[in-house]
Amino acid sequence: MPLAGERDRRVLELHERLLEIEQRLIATGLHVFGRASNREQCADLLRMVASFDRPEHGARSLIDLIAEGLGLRHELAPGDNGDQRLTEAHARALERVDTVARESIRRFIESNAGDAVLWLEAEANVRAEESRPVFALLEKVYAQLQTNEELDSLARALRGEYVEPGPGADVVQNPSVLPTGRNTHAVNPYAIPSATAYARAEPVVNQLLARHVSEHGRHPRALAFVLWGLDNIKTQGEGVAQALHLLGVRPVRDAMNRVADVEVIPLEELGRPRIDVVMTVSGIFRDLFAATTLLLDRAVRRVAALDEPSELNYVRANILAQAEEGDCDFDAACLRVFSNAPGSYGTNVNFLVSSSEWEHESALGDLFVRRKCFAYGRDARGRALEGREAPCAMRRALARVEATYQNVDSFEIGITDVDHYFEYLGGVTKAVEQHAERRPAIYLSDALAREARVRSLEETVRLETRAKTLNPKWYEGMLRHGFRGVAEIENRVTNTFGWSATAGAVDDWVYGEVAETFVLDEEMLRRLSELNTHSARALVGRLLEAEGRGYWAADEATVARLREILAGLEDRLEGVA
Ligand code: BEZ
Ligand code: MG
């Protein structure tokens, strides 16, 4: 490629990355119970709500309407492999459409829906009949964002009075979660996955597999899949649907719309091999979705029994190979749905990481298997396993895994916001690394993108670091909460560290810039230590731990300075300074 072409490509790539960070929805503070969102927060949320098709409100995506109105539909269409095309036209179109969308929302908030509709018609050729339903929906959402009955509802609940029910999801996924302060209800677990969830699963699975093929030259023979309960409530089972799709089966419903069974998709129709899926389901998933847990196990057994060539049915091929290894029969080799022992929850990998009381990373993978090696489903004779302890079967299944994956569905919580992503996806990744004796590829899907989008873990950590941890909008928003805000910053750094410990997925610069931003900047250090000395100390300690464990190659002067600061903070905590 000529030099200028290569340079242009790089500039474009950088431009796209910056846009991605800029357009990412982030929390700019904690929710204060009983307090409604302010205007600025509302504008961001409304823009996200408006960017999706809402057939139930007769509203199309505002982004699509604007793109069509401006004649930019073609530029914004995904490329052949489902990925966004990296062209200047695409980048410009994206920016232009975003600017118009933001301005229309600004007019809506500062004036009214009618004004926004007229402006869009004049400015972007969006027909009023098309944009009116969008703004009608936004009017409702905006009004509900500005009211808040959380305190009243809590008081009613405490008095044992009736609290109106409402669905549980995030506001972008389902605007009818508003108003907040209602009694959250879940889903009908027997209807999981919904038809919509199954339809949405296919492009994500295709992208996940395409990404693996492009990076490793072929499909993963086995994939370790994390399934959580709350996520599958919010998405009506998108994760479950993806797992079924990977296996090459589809749900079969009975007359009551319950998912009663699965049906095998013929290989000719599937057009790719059936992927072996080793599922780790959370304790919450196991409790909420007992029937689904059995269904997933049944799907694996159904696929394992198919008379198909091993190069097109990795499930059967792996199970046969596993059974031949000697210490388990075909039936035990079929175990693919693992969770905690009955009544137990969590991997505890997060607690072990945050306590720093581990020497080798293998302790993290061992703990994961110890906590999550309880198999669910039915054996060949139809007897319920009910959490049979099966560490050996789990290790053998994990030993064949080439990629680990979790469907991240929430607009509200990302992989460094809480410790649960690294305890699960990180935990299983470390276990795979130990038993397969190689590090798997690690992927996450991103529901924040309008089109199906799969990122590597490394990319996701970078994105969260840029969009949140190091973003003044994020940390200043947190610091407005004083003591708690500092704790949130420290938590995020520890959660990021969790991705080093379990998956080696954090670049050096992340720790370097965290140190520069929060510790080596004197004014910031003063603010943090005055607001919350304890968390400031923990943050500095974590950075030193990252250096000590080899996750961060800091220079000697930096390490010395951090040690000095740590000593100062400890003195302050002990009342010496
Ligand atoms: C779940 O919804 O299954 C879940 C929630 C929090 C942590 C882990 C799992
Ligand atoms: Mg928790």
Per residue in 321-354, pLDDT tens?
999 987 778 999 999 999 999 999 999 999 999 9
% of residues, the chain, pLDDT over 70: 97
Task: State the pLDDT at residue 85.
Answer: 56
Ligand 1 centroid to residue 282 C-alpha, Å: 6
Secondary structure of 385-433 in the HEC alphabet? CCCEECHHHHHHHHCCCCEEEEEECCCCCCCCCCCHHHHHHHHHHHHHH
Q: In sequence order, what DSSP letters do the residues of 33-64 get, joined into one string?
A: TT----HHHHHHHHHHHHTS-BGGGTB--HHH
Contacts of 373 (CB under 8 A, 6+ apart): 338, 389, 390, 391, 393, 394, 395
CA of 479: how far to CAs of 191, 487, 527, in Å?
A: 43, 9, 9
Ligand 2 centroid to residue 500 C-alpha, Å: 20
Per residue in 509-544, pLDDT tens?
999 999 999 999 999 999 999 999 999 999 999 999
CA of 242: how far to CAs of 194, 216, 406, 416, in Å?
A: 12, 21, 10, 23
What does the alpha-carbon distance between residue 338 and residue 347 come to, in Å, rounded to a whole number? 12
Task: State the pLDDT at residue 27.
Answer: 81
pLDDT at residue 83 tops 70: no
The ligand 1 atom at the shortest distance from the C-alpha of residue 346 is: 8
| Token code pair at residue 376 | 């669910």
pLDDT at residue 219 tops 60: yes
The ligand 1 atom at the shortest distance from the C-alpha of residue 285 is: 3
Task: State the pLDDT at residue 82.
Answer: 47
In this structure, the residue with its CA closest to atom 6 of ligand 1 is 420
Closest-CA residue to 479 (of 470, 471, 493, 489): 489
Per residue in 300-327, pLDDT tens?
999 999 999 999 999 999 999 999 987 7
Task: State the pLDDT at residue 80.
Answer: 47
Ligand 2 centroid to residue 351 C-alpha, Å: 11
Region 65-84 average pLDDT: 77
Per residue in 134-191, pLDDT tens?
999 999 999 999 888 899 999 999 999 999 998 877 788 788 889 999 998 878 889 9
Ligand 1 centroid to residue 345 C-alpha, Å: 9
Ligand 2 centroid to residue 243 C-alpha, Å: 25
Tell me the best of 279, 282, 340, 350 to mutate to test the pocket of ligand 1, counting ligand atoms within 8 Å of each CB and taking the most.
282
Q: Which amino acid is at 329?
A: D
| pTM, 2 dp | 0.89
Select the highest-mean-pLDDT range: 39-53, 65-79, 194-208, 559-573. 559-573
The ligand 1 atom at the shortest distance from the C-alpha of residue 288 is: 3
Give the helix/strand (H/E) hosting 343. none
> Nearest ligand, CA of residue 372?
1
Task: State the pLDDT at residue 447.
Answer: 63
Ligand 2 centroid to residue 562 C-alpha, Å: 30
> Nearest ligand, CA of residue 239?
1
Q: Which amino acid is at 177?
A: V
Ligand 1 pocket (Cβ < 6 Å) reads 228-230, 282, 284-285, 420
Length of the chain: 577
Spell 109-131 as b/e; 16+ CB within 10 A means b: beeebeebbebbbeebebeeebb
The ligand 1 atom at the shortest distance from the C-alpha of residue 227 is: 3
Closest-CA residue to 444 (of 413, 476, 407, 473): 407
The ligand 1 atom at the shortest distance from the C-alpha of residue 281 is: 3
Ligand 2 centroid to residue 420 C-alpha, Å: 7
What does the alpha-carbon distance between residue 277 and residue 23 come to, in Å, rounded to a whole number? 33
